[in-house]
Structure 1
């Protein structure tokens, strides 16, 4: 299957098998970079009111940033600002799908870490849960490496780094 077919299969039937296939397609894309900083890319453009610039900059990174909740939300907001409501709605749905792909595939615990494609996704999940990291540590595990965030209340949230594991979704 190619990326559009894999993406459609997951969007229509978000099973662990389809998610694993989509993760493989994304990480194999030439535009994939687990250290991409979506916010740094779009913030200057948003401040300048360059909504089309936001769209162009993010689409130039596809499919490597597909399933980035932050990327899809920025796209949704940019399309909405341009009055392109159908595109804004589509990207909002992709943002929710992206967040669900992380939160339903793990529990954020050592035994069941959230799978992430990018470091920035970790912070997006924490922000969505209104939690703040006070420390981040890279921890090797049997299934690859995890980023472990210690939160303000002393609890921890675990994220499995999919680019550092042979099993993209742990399936």
Structure 2
């Protein structure tokens, strides 16, 4: 299945399996960068009203920036400012889908962390849920690597860093489920 097919399939039927397949496709895509900071690059252009430059820049990151709430959100705003309300509306829906996909991937607890494709995605979901982090730490265990944000109220939100997750084969082997030769 092509990445476009995976996006379409997930948008029409957002299942856990479809999300997993789409995330794997995005991580395998050209220009995928888990350290991409959309806001850092786009906010100065936004302040200067350089909407076409924003569109060009974000599109240059695709398909690696797919499912980035920030990328789709800024693209929606820039396209709308350029007079393409329909394309802006579509990108706004993709921004919402990206946020929903993170929220649907887990509760954010240690037992059910939210899965993210990029570090910036963590901050997008915290902002969207009006949660303010006061500290952050990284935790590694047999399940993978996690960013753990401590919130103002003392609670925590856990994020699984998908690009650092152990492969399924390694997980099966560690669990003793690997077939014997």
TM-score higher than 0.5 here?
yes
Question: Tell me, what secondary structure is at the counterpart of 1:60?
Answer: helix
User: CA-to-partner distance for each residue in 1:77-104, whole Å, 9 max, x for gaps?
Assistant: 0011111011011001001100010001
| Alpha-carbon RMSD | 0.9
Within a 5 Å distance, the mapping from 1:55-74 to structure 2 comes to 55-74=55-74
Distance in 2 between residues matched to 1:106 and 1:42, nearest whole Å: 29
Question: Tell me, what secondary structure is at the counterpart of 1:6?
Answer: helix
Distance in 1 between residues matched to 2:80 and 2:64, nearest whole Å: 23
| 2:106 aligned residue | 106
Deviation at 1:161, TM superposition (A): 0.4
Q: Which runs of 5+ in 1 are unaligned?
A: none
Distance in 2 between residues matched to 1:125 and 1:14, nearest whole Å: 18
Deviation at 1:142, TM superposition (A): 2.0
Would you say 1:149 and 2:149 are equivalent positions? yes
Would you say 1:127 and 2:127 are equivalent positions? yes
| 1:14 aligned residue | 14
Task: Tell me which structure has the larger Cα radius of gyration.
Answer: 2
Q: Which runs of 5+ in 2 are unaligned?
A: 169-181
Q: 4+ runs of 1 displaced by more than 4 Å?
A: none
| 1:163 aligned residue | 163
Give the TM-score of the pair, scaled to structure 2: 0.90
Name the count of aligned residue pairs.
167
